[in-house]
């Protein structure tokens, strides 16, 4: 749907399409662990960066996991996580579950993916 025709400075007309109504602008998801709440950055740019780091889920390096966590939770979220003193297995589960939330997967898929490694 064309919202408006606008005239450019050089006299050319341009068509402006407004797709705002097609977008959700939903609040980001929050993961709760005990009494700590972590906001998940589910923006498209984060999802794309994260998916390039994860690849097919096989042979993820420790650096890739940490970078994913930083993308997902931010530096403030990582500080909260450090205070929880999660085991490596629990940290991996958290990152994979958050990844599932970002890409729209079902809960539990992360566990299946982790079991493959």
Confidence of residue 2 (pLDDT cuts 50, 70, 90): low
Local confidence band at 110 (pLDDT 50, 70, 90 cut-offs): very low
Residue 49 in domain: yes
Per-residue confidence (pLDDT) for residue 49, from 0 to 100: 92
How many structural domains is the chain composed of? 1
What does the pLDDT read at residue 5?
67
* pLDDT tens profile 7-58: 777 777 778 888 888 888 888 999 999 999 999 999 999 999 988 887 766 7
Residue 47 to residues 51, 53, 87, Cα–Cα distance (Å): 6, 10, 25
Segment 104-110 mean pLDDT: 52
Strand partners, 37: 32
Residue 22 is assigned to a structural domain of this protein: no
- At 69 the pLDDT is 95
Does residue 59 fall inside a structural domain? yes
Give CA–CA dist 13/96, Å, rounded.
48
Looking at residue 57, its pLDDT comes to 65
* Residue 113 pLDDT: 45
Three-state secondary structure call for residue 16 = strand
Query: From the CA atom positions of the chain, what is the Rg in Å?
Result: 19
Mean of the per-residue pLDDT values for the chain?
82
* Token couple for 22: 């097609």
Phi, psi for residue 37 in degrees, rounded to 5: -110, 130
Predicted TM-score (pTM) of the model is: 0.70
Query: Is 64 among the domain residues?
Result: yes
Residue 13 lies in a domain: no
Range of the structural domain that residue 48 is part of: 30-116
Over range 78-96, report the average pLDDT.
Answer: 93
């Amino acid at each position: 749907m064309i919202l408006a025709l606008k005239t450019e400075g050089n006299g050319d007309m341009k068509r402006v399409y407004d797709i705002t109504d097609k977008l959700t602008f939903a609040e980001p998801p929050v993961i709760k662990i005990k009494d700590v709440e972590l906001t998940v950055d589910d923006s498209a740019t984060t999802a794309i960066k994260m998916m390039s780091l994860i690849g097919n889920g096989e042979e993820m390096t420790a650096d890739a996991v940490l970078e994913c966590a930083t993308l997902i939770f931010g530096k403030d979220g990582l500080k909260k996580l450090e205070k929880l003193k999660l085991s490596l297995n629990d940290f991996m589960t958290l990152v994979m579950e958050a990844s599932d939330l970002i890409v729209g997967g079902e809960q539990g898929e992360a566990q299946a993916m982790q079991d493959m490694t």
